[in-house]
Structure 1
Amino acid sequence: MSDTSFPPQDPERNRLTGRLARTAKVGANLSGAGLTFAAQSLFGGEQGDEKIARALAAALGKSKGPLMKVAQMLSTVPDLLPAEYAAEFAQLQAEAPAMGWPFVRRRMRAELGADWQGKFAEFGHEASHAASLGQVHAATLHDGRRVACKLQYPDMASAVESDVGQLKTVLGLFKRMDGSIDPTAMVEEIADRLREELDYAREGKHMRLYRDMLSGYDFVQVPDLIEDLSTDRLLTMSWLSGARLTAFEDAPQETRNRIAEMLFWTWWGPFNSHAVIHGDPHLGNYQVTGEGTGLNLLDFGCIRIFPPGFVEGVVDLYRAILADDFDASFAAYEKWGFVGLSKELVEVLNIWARFIYGPLLDDRVRSVADGVTPGEYGRKEAMSVRKLLREKGPVKVPREFVFMDRAAIGLGAAYLRLHAELNFYKLFNESLEGFSVEAVAKRQADALERVGLG
Structure 2
Amino acid sequence: MADTNSLTGRIARYARVGGTGIGLAAQMGAARIFGGEVDKAAGAAQLRAALGGLKGPVMKVAQIISTIPDAVPPEYAAELAQLQSNAPAMGWPFVRRRMKSELGADWEAKYTTFEHEAAAAASLGQVHRATGLDGRRLAAKLQYPDMASAVEADLGQLDLLFGLYKRFDKSIDTAEIHTELADRLREELDYEREAKHLNLYRDMLGNEAGVHLPEVVPELSTRRLLTMTWLDGRPLLDYKTGSLEVRNRIAENLFRAWYIPLHHFGVIHGDPHLGNYTVRDDLAINLLDFGCIRVFPPRFIGGVVDLYRAIETGNEALAVDAFERWGFTGLSREIIDTLLIWAKFLYGPLLDDRKRVIDASGNPATYGRETAQKVHARLRELGTVTVPREFVFMDRAAIGLGGVFMHLQAELNWYAMFNAMIAGFDEGALAAKQAAALERAGL
Q: Displacement of 1:305 after TM fit?
A: 0.7
Equivalent residue number for residue 420 of structure 1: 410
1:250-265 equivalences under 5 Å are 250-265=241-256
Equivalent residue number for residue 338 of structure 1: 328
In the alignment, is the contact (CA less than 8 A) between 1:275 and 1:440 conserved in 2? yes
Match of 2:109 among 118, 122, 127: 118
Match of 2:386 among 377, 380, 396: 396
Provide, for residues 250-299 of structure 1, a one-character-per-residue CA deviation record: whole Å limited to 9, x for no partner: 1111111111111111001100000000000111111111142x010000
Equivalent residue number for residue 198 of structure 1: 189
In the alignment, is the contact (CA less than 8 A) between 1:209 and 1:451 conserved in 2? yes
Match of 1:315 among 292, 300, 305: 305
- Unaligned 5+ segments in structure 2 are none
In 2, Cα distance between the equivalents of 1:132 and 1:183?
A: 24
TM-score (norm 2): 0.96
Equivalent residue number for residue 3 of structure 1: none
| Ranges of 4+ aligned residues in structure 1 off by more than 6 Å | none
Provide, for residues 315-346 of structure 1, a one-character-per-residue CA deviation record: whole Å limited to 9, x for no partner: 11111111112221111100000112111110
Give 3-state SS (helix, strand or coil) of 2:359's partner.
Answer: coil
Q: Displacement of 1:367 after TM fit?
A: 1.2
Match of 1:104 among 86, 91, 95: 95
Match of 1:236 among 220, 227, 232: 227
Q: Displacement of 1:29 after TM fit?
A: 4.1
Match of 2:207 among 192, 199, 216: 216
In the alignment, is the contact (CA less than 8 A) between 1:109 and 1:115 conserved in 2? yes
Letter aligned with residue 275 of structure 2: G
In 2, Cα distance between the equivalents of 1:360 and 1:291?
A: 27
Q: Displacement of 1:392 after TM fit?
A: 0.4
Letter aligned with residue 312 of structure 1: G
In 2, Cα distance between the equivalents of 1:344 and 1:311?
A: 24
Q: Displacement of 1:314 after TM fit?
A: 0.6
TM-score (norm 1): 0.94
Provide, for residues 26-46 of structure 1, a one-character-per-residue CA deviation record: whole Å limited to 9, x for no partner: 32342233234345554644x
| 2:363 maps to 1:373 | yes
* % identity of equivalent residues: 57
Question: CA 1:358 to 1:201, structure 2 compared with 1: closer, same or farther past 3 Å?
Answer: same
In the alignment, is the contact (CA less than 8 A) between 1:98 and 1:130 conserved in 2? yes
Give 3-state SS (helix, strand or coil) of 1:304's partner.
Answer: strand
Q: Displacement of 1:86 after TM fit?
A: 1.6
| 2:151 maps to 1:157 | no
Letter aligned with residue 49 of structure 2: A
Equivalent residue number for residue 428 of structure 2: 438
Question: CA 1:357 to 1:117, structure 2 compared with 1: closer, same or farther past 3 Å?
Answer: same
In the alignment, is the contact (CA less than 8 A) between 1:32 and 1:59 conserved in 2? no
| 2:47 maps to 1:68 | no
Letter aligned with residue 251 of structure 2: A
In the alignment, is the contact (CA less than 8 A) between 1:200 and 1:234 conserved in 2? yes
| 2:138 maps to 1:147 | yes
In the alignment, is the contact (CA less than 8 A) between 1:29 and 1:60 conserved in 2? no
More divergent stretch after superposition (24-33 vs 183-192)? 24-33
Provide, for residues 217-276 of structure 1, a one-character-per-residue CA deviation record: whole Å limited to 9, x for no partner: 111110100000000000000111111111111111111111111111100110000000
More divergent stretch after superposition (93-102 vs 16-25)? 16-25
In 2, Cα distance between the equivalents of 1:65 and 1:142?
A: 32
Match of 1:448 among 418, 422, 438: 438
In 2, Cα distance between the equivalents of 1:266 and 1:376?
A: 24
Letter aligned with residue 393 of structure 1: G
| 2:120 maps to 1:129 | yes
